[in-house]
Amino acid sequence: MRVRVSDPSLLSDLCNYLSRRGCAAVEASEDEANVLIPGAPSSFEEATMLMTEIDLWRAKRAGVEVTVDP
């Protein structure tokens, strides 16, 4: 899945956070990353798990918006 963050300076932080949580997160451009969740049973569950992790990360970063494209 492709993840886009509204503040490009936080992309590396998001990728590091997701990596620590068991995701494979690689920066793809200035404000986008490609993210996989190994072992997710389906693409729906992968998306749900990713959104949960992103919501936890965003909870400490007011005003940052993150969008996810399958």
Over residues 11-27, the pLDDT tens digits come to 999 999 999 999 999 99
pLDDT, tens digit (0-9, with 9 covering 90-100), for 46-64 = 999 999 999 999 999 989 9
Tally of domains within the chain: 1
d(CA 21, CA 52): 11
Provide the residue range defining the domain that includes 19: 2-69
Q: What pTM was estimated for this model as a whole? A: 0.92
> What distance in Å separates the CA atoms of residue 20 and residue 48, rounded to the nearest whole number?
18
**Token match 């990360």: residue?**
57
Per-position b or e across 31-63, b if 16+ CB within 10 A of its CB: ebbebebeeeeeeeebbebbeebbeebbeeeee
> Distance between CA 3 and CA 9 in Å, rounded?
14
